[in-house]
């Protein structure tokens, strides 16, 4: 039995009201993630074959869904924050690439000549 308080593998919500051992249909009250799932287990490891360090456990395809594994032992550190740094950097680059110049009046209809000029500049067709 873990010494530390359990948290949900999906959202890091405290699982103080969830009785142990985890029932097969146990869910996180905050995000409704299945708790009797490989992602909640101490044997879950993305770096090993079948993503499980328990050598005799049957393979489970969906590591986020409830299963019948009898070797499941809740991991108090099952939650791992998603690395959004790369996604945020890519989104920032896209925003910068497609950013339109700020206009004084956003309610005015767009000027077709200005739009054509921007397209010509984008594709190197401007005659300046």
DSSP string, 67-126: ---TT--B-TT-------HHHHHHHHHHHHHHPPPP-S-TTSPPPHHHHHHHHHHHTT--
pLDDT mean across residues, the chain: 83
Among residues 57, 80, 77, 68, the alpha carbon closest in space to that of 22 is found at: 68
Distant-in-sequence, close-in-space partners of 25: CB < 8 Å, separation ≥ 6: 34, 36, 66
User: Does a structural domain hold residue 87?
Assistant: yes
Q: What total of structural domains would you count in the chain? A: 1
Decide if pLDDT at 84 tops 60.
yes
User: Does a structural domain hold residue 72?
Assistant: yes
- Strand-pair partners of 41: 74
Q: How confident is the model at residue 108 (pLDDT cuts 50, 70, 90)?
A: very low
User: Does a structural domain hold residue 35?
Assistant: yes
Q: How confident is the model at residue 120 (pLDDT cuts 50, 70, 90)?
A: confident
Task: Print the domain residue range for 62.
Answer: 1-100
User: Does a structural domain hold residue 113?
Assistant: no
Higher pLDDT, 127 or 48: 48
Higher pLDDT, 128 or 15: 15
Higher pLDDT, 83 or 38: 38
pTM of the model: 0.60
User: Does a structural domain hold residue 109?
Assistant: no
Decide if pLDDT at 83 tops 60.
yes
User: Does a structural domain hold residue 111?
Assistant: no
Q: How confident is the model at residue 110 (pLDDT cuts 50, 70, 90)?
A: low
User: Does a structural domain hold residue 28?
Assistant: yes
Decide if pLDDT at 41 tops 80.
yes
pLDDT score at 116 = 85
User: Does a structural domain hold residue 118?
Assistant: no
Of the listed ranges 38-47, 74-83, 102-111, the least confidently predicted one is 102-111
């Amino acid at each position: 039995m873990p010494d530390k308080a359990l948290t949900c593998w999906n959202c890091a919500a405290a699982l103080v009201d969830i009785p142990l051992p985890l029932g097969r249909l146990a869910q996180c009250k905050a995000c409704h993630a299945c708790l009797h799932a490989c992602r909640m287990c101490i044997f879950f490891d993305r770096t090993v074959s079948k993503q499980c360090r328990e050598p005799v456990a049957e393979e489970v395809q969906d590591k986020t869904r409830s299963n019948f594994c009898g070797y499941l032992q809740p991991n108090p550190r099952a939650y791992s924050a998603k690395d959004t740094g790369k996604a945020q950097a890519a989104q920032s680059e896209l925003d910068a690439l497609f950013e339109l110049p700020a206009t004084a009046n956003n309610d005015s209809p767009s000027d077709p000549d200005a739009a054509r000029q921007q397209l010509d500049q984008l594709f190197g067709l401007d005659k300046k």
